[in-house]
């Protein structure tokens, strides 16, 4: 899914048979931090709830065409959802999206399995590890 904002409406008096009754809206694509991300385009409203200035999610190309009934109509973009709340955190400098460091793996294990205090402290040789396997010495 992609993010966009409805900036207008469009009326077409002649349409393909499967498109009768579909609302056509002009959408401006946006980045994750809500900045303009390209030229506006026309989209059908598969959500049937979007209106001017609504923050929406949309699909493009074949996925857009498959969202309607009948399931394949000649559209390139379709609005699939209304965004009720949007939160965006600027990435920290040097942070990676997926940081698989030992420290992060340990924190994840502590969250999943209750931390060292619930496991009986650091795992000693012969004690069961976090997944029931015997820890290696």
Could you report the per-residue pLDDT of 33-91, keeping only the tens digit for each?
999 999 999 998 888 889 999 999 998 877 776 766 666 777 888 898 999 888 888 77
Structural domain harbouring 38: 2-82
In a domain, 66, yes or no: yes
Query: Does the residue 107 lie in any domain?
Result: no
Residue 137 resides in a domain: no
pLDDT at 91: 74
Q: How many domains does the chain have?
A: 1
Let me know if residue 116 belongs to a domain: no
Q: Inform me whether the pLDDT recorded for 26 exceeds 90.
A: yes
Report yes or no on 65 lying in a domain.
yes
Whether 26 contacts 79, CB under 8 Å: no
Residue 31 gets the label, from left (phi > 0), alpha (psi -120 to 50) or beta, of beta
Q: Is the distance from CB of 122 to CB of 110 less than 8 angstroms?
A: no
Domain membership of residue 126 (yes or no) is no
CATH number at residue 63: 2.40.50.220
Give the pLDDT of residue 127: 47
Each residue's pLDDT tens digit, 80-128? 899 988 888 877 776 665 555 555 556 666 666 666 555 455 544 444 4
Phi and psi angles of residue 78, each rounded to the nearest 5 degrees, phi first: -140, 135
């Amino acid at each position: 899914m992609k993010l966009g904002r409805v900036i207008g409406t469009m009326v077409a008096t002649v349409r393909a048979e499967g498109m009768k009754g579909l609302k056509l809206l002009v959408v401006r694509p946006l980045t994750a931090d809500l900045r303009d991300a390209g030229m506006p385009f026309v989209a059908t409203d598969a959500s049937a709830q979007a209106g001017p200035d609504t923050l929406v999610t949309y699909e493009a190309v074949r996925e857009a065409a498959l969202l309607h009934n009948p399931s394949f109509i000649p559209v390139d973009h379709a609005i699939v959802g209304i965004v009720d709340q949007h939160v965006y955190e600027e990435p920290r400098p040097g942070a990676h999206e997926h940081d698989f460091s030992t420290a992060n793996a340990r924190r994840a294990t502590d969250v999943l399995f209750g931390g060292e205090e619930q496991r009986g402290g650091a795992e000693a040789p012969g004690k069961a590890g976090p997944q029931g396997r015997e820890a290696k010495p």
